[in-house]
Structure 1
Amino acid sequence: MRSLGAKPLAQPAPVWVIGTYFQDERPNIMTAAWGGICCSDPPCLQISLRKATATYHNIMHSKAFTVNVPNPEFMEKSDYAGMVSGKDTDKFAATGLTPVKSDIVDAPYVQEFPMVLECSLIKHVEIGLHTVFIGEIKDVKVKEEFVDGHHADMAKVNPVLFAPGSRRYYAIGKEIGQAFSSGRICMRNGE
Structure 2
Amino acid sequence: MLDNLPLSQVYQFIEPGPVLLLTTALPGHKPNVMALSWHMMLDFEPPLIACVVGQANHSFGALRQSGSCVLAIPPASLAQTVVSVGNCSGKDTDKFGVYNLTPLPAKHVAAPLIGEAIVNLECRVKDTRAVTSYNMFVLECLGAWQNKRLLHEPTLHHKGYGRFGILSEEITLKSLMR
Tell me the TM-score normalized by structure 2.
0.87
- Shift of residue 74, structure 1, vs aligned partner: 0.9
Kept after mapping to 1: 8 A contact 2:121/2:141: yes
Task: Check if 1:169 corresponds to 2:164.
Answer: yes
- Cα distance in 2 for residues equivalent to 1:78 and 1:5: 27
Q: Does 1:132 align with 2:132?
A: no
Give the Cα separation in 1 of the matches to 2:59 and 2:72: 14
Contact 2:15 2:37 in 1 (8 A): no
Q: Displacement, 1:173?
A: 3.5
Counterpart residue number, 2:40: 36
Residue 173 of structure 2 aligns with an amino acid whose one-letter code is Q
2:117 alignment counterpart: 113
Amino acid at match of 1:70: P
Q: Tell me how far apart the structure 1 counterparts of residues 16 and 46 of structure 2 sit (CA, whole Å).
A: 25
- Greater shift in the superposed pair: 4-13 or 90-99: 4-13
* Bigger CA radius of gyration: 1
Query: Unpaired runs of 5+ in structure 1?
Result: 147-152, 182-191
8 Å CA contact retained: 1:51, 1:131: yes
Letter in 1 for 2:30: R
Q: Which protein is richer in strand relative to its size?
A: 1
CA distance in 2 between partners of 1:158 and 1:138 (Å): 25
1:160 equivalent in structure 2: 156
Q: Which amino acid aligns with 2:153?
A: V
Secondary structure of 2:41's aligned partner: strand
Q: CA deviation at 1:111?
A: 1.0
Give the distance between the partners of 2:16 and 2:88, measured in 1 at CA.
23
How far apart in 1 are the matches of 2:162 and 2:143? 31
What's the C-alpha RMSD, in Å, of the aligned pairs?
Answer: 1.8
Instruction: Give the deviation of 1:98 after TM superposition.
Output: 1.1
